[in-house]
Amino acid sequence: MAFDLDMIKKVYDRYSTRVAAARKATGKHLTLTEKILYAHLSEGDAQKAFARGVDYVDFAPDRVAMQDATAQMALLQFMQAGRPQVAVPSTVHCDHLIQAKVGADADLKTAKDVNMEVYDFLASVSDKYGIGFWKPGAGIIHQVVLENYAFPGGMMIGTDSHTPNAGGLGMIAIGVGGADACDVMAGLPWELKFPKLIGVKLTGKLSGWTSAKDVILKVAGILTVKGGTGAIVEYFGEGARSLSATGKGTICNMGAEIGATTSIFGYDEKAAAYLSGTKRADIAELANAIKEHLTGDDEVYANPEQYFDEVIEINLDELEPHVNGPFTPDLAWPISKFAQAVKENNWPTKLEVGLIGSCTNSSYEDITRSASIAKQATDKHLTTKAEFTITPGSELVRYTVERDGYLGTFESMGGVVLANACGPCIGQWARHTDDPTRRNSIITSFNRNFAKRQDGNPNTHAFVASPEIVTAFVIAGDLTFNPLTDTLTNDKGEQVKFDEPVGIEMPIKGYAVEDAGYQAPAEDGSQVSVLVDPKSSRLQLLEPFTAWEGTDITGLKLLIKAKGKCTTDHISMAGPWLKFRGHLDNISNNMLIGAINYFNNTADSVKNELTGEYGPVPATQRDYKAHGIGSIVVGDENYGEGSSREHAAMEPRHLGVRAILVKSFARIHETNLKKQGMLGITFADSNDYDKIQEDDIFDIVGLTSFTPDKQLTVVLHHKDGSQESFQVNHTYNAQQIEWFKAGGALNIIRRQMAS
Residue 165 near ligand MIC by CB under 6 A: no
With CB under 5 to 8 Å by kind, the binding choice for 566 among ligand MIC, ligand SF4, none is none
Q: Which of 211, 394, 466, 643 is catalytic?
A: 643
Spell out a b/e string for 504-526, using b for 16 or more CB atoms within 10 Å of the CB, else e: bbbbeeebebeebbeeebeeebe
Interface positions, 348-387, toward ligand SF4 (CB under 6 A): 358-359
Interface positions, 41-70, toward ligand MIC (CB under 6 A): 69-70
Q: State yes or no: is 96 an active-site residue.
A: yes
Say how many residues touch ligand MIC, by CB under 6 A. 14
Residue 154 near ligand MIC by CB under 6 A: no
Give the helix/strand (H/E) hosting 647: helix 647-655
Question: In the bound complex, what is the minimum distance in angstroms from residue 574's beta carbon to ligand SF4?
Answer: 8
**Which one, 263 or 358, has the nearer CB to ligand SF4?**
358
What sections of 513-646 are H helices per DSSP? 568-571, 584-587, 617-626
With CB under 5 to 8 Å by kind, the binding choice for 70 among ligand SF4, ligand MIC, none is ligand MIC
Q: List the one residue from 258, 425, 462, 553 that touches ligand SF4 (CB under 6 A).
A: 425
**Which one, 385 or 667, has the nearer CB to ligand MIC?**
667
Contacts of 581 (CB under 8 A, 6+ apart): 68, 69, 70, 72, 73, 587, 645, 647
Give the chain's largest Cα–Cα span: 80
Q: List the one residue from 4, 34, 147, 160 that touches ligand MIC (CB under 6 A).
A: 160
Q: Which of 68, 95, 688, 696 is catalytic?
A: 95
**Which one, 213 or 730, has the nearer CB to ligand SF4?**
213
Q: List the one residue from 253, 263, 394, 643 that touches ligand MIC (CB under 6 A).
A: 643
Q: State yes or no: is 448 an active-site residue.
A: yes
Q: State yes or no: is 645 an active-site residue.
A: yes
Q: Which of 14, 18, 93, 96 is catalytic?
A: 96
Q: List the one residue from 267, 446, 463, 511 that touches ligand SF4 (CB under 6 A).
A: 446
Give yes or no for a contact between 173 and 165, defined as CB atoms under 8 angstroms apart: yes
HSE-CB of 458 using CA atoms within 13 angstroms: 6
Interface positions, 548-607, toward ligand SF4 (CB under 6 A): none
Contacts of 736 (CB under 8 A, 6+ apart): 674
Burial classification of residue 721, based on how many CB atoms lie within 10 Å of its CB (0-12 exposed, 13-18 middle, 19 or more buried): exposed
d(CA 321, CA 369): 14
Give yes or no for a contact between 396 and 515, defined as CB atoms under 8 angstroms apart: no
Contacts of 206 (CB under 8 A, 6+ apart): 212, 214, 239, 242, 243, 316, 319
Interface positions, 171-190, toward ligand MIC (CB under 6 A): 175
Residue of 210, 465, 429 lying closest to 342 (CA atoms): 465
| Amino acid, res. 46 | A
Interface positions, 573-592, toward ligand MIC (CB under 6 A): 574
**Which one, 447 or 471, has the nearer CB to ligand SF4?**
447
Please provide residue 73's backbone torsions phi and psi, each rounded to the nearest 5 degrees.
Answer: -70, -40
Please provide residue 422's backbone torsions phi and psi, each rounded to the nearest 5 degrees.
Answer: -70, -45
Contacts of 718 (CB under 8 A, 6+ apart): 693, 695, 696, 724
d(CA 240, CA 304): 15
Interface positions, 68-97, toward ligand MIC (CB under 6 A): 69-70, 96
d(CA 156, CA 167): 10
Q: List the one residue from 60, 271, 284, 422 that touches ligand SF4 (CB under 6 A).
A: 422
Please provide residue 346's backbone torsions phi and psi, each rounded to the nearest 5 degrees.
Answer: 60, 35
Residue 162 near ligand MIC by CB under 6 A: yes
Q: List the one residue from 165, 263, 644, 672 that touches ligand MIC (CB under 6 A).
A: 644
Residue 224 near ligand SF4 by CB under 6 A: no
User: In this structure, is the dihedral angle defined by the CA atoms of residues 668, 672, 675 and 679, taken in order, positive or negative?
Assistant: negative
**Which one, 583 or 645, has the nearer CB to ligand MIC?**
645
6 CB neighbour count, 10 Å cutoff: 9
Q: Which of 14, 369, 448, 654 is catalytic?
A: 448
Residue 570 near ligand MIC by CB under 6 A: no
Q: List the one residue from 93, 461, 645, 654 that touches ligand MIC (CB under 6 A).
A: 645
Interface positions, 61-100, toward ligand SF4 (CB under 6 A): 96
**Which one, 368 or 447, has the nearer CB to ligand MIC?**
447
Residue 426 near ligand SF4 by CB under 6 A: yes
Contacts of 146 (CB under 8 A, 6+ apart): 165, 166, 168, 169, 245, 246, 249
Question: In the bound complex, what is the minimum distance in angstroms from residue 109's beta carbon to ligand MIC?
Answer: 22
Residue 361 near ligand MIC by CB under 6 A: no
The region of 257-265, 627-635, 641-649, 706-714 touching ligand MIC under the rule CB under 6 A is 641-649
d(CA 74, CA 360): 23
d(CA 444, CA 469): 9
Q: State yes or no: is 751 an active-site residue.
A: no
HSE-CB of 6 using CA atoms within 13 angstroms: 5
Q: Which of 160, 183, 268, 569 is catalytic?
A: 160
With CB under 5 to 8 Å by kind, the binding choice for 410 among ligand MIC, ligand SF4, none is none
Q: What is the x/- site pattern for ligand SF4, positions 137-156, by CB under 6 A?
A: ---xx---------------
d(CA 236, CA 240): 5
Give yes or no for a contact between 645 and 568, defined as CB atoms under 8 angstroms apart: yes
With CB under 5 to 8 Å by kind, the binding choice for 644 among ligand SF4, ligand MIC, none is ligand MIC
Interface positions, 417-436, toward ligand MIC (CB under 6 A): 426
With CB under 5 to 8 Å by kind, the binding choice for 188 among ligand SF4, ligand MIC, none is none
Q: Give the binding site for ligand SF4 (CB under 6 A).
A: 96, 140-141, 160, 162, 358-359, 422, 425-426, 446-447
Q: Give the binding site for ligand MIC (CB under 6 A).
A: 69-70, 96, 160-162, 175, 426, 448, 574, 642-645
Residues marked as catalytic: 95-96, 160, 448, 643, 645
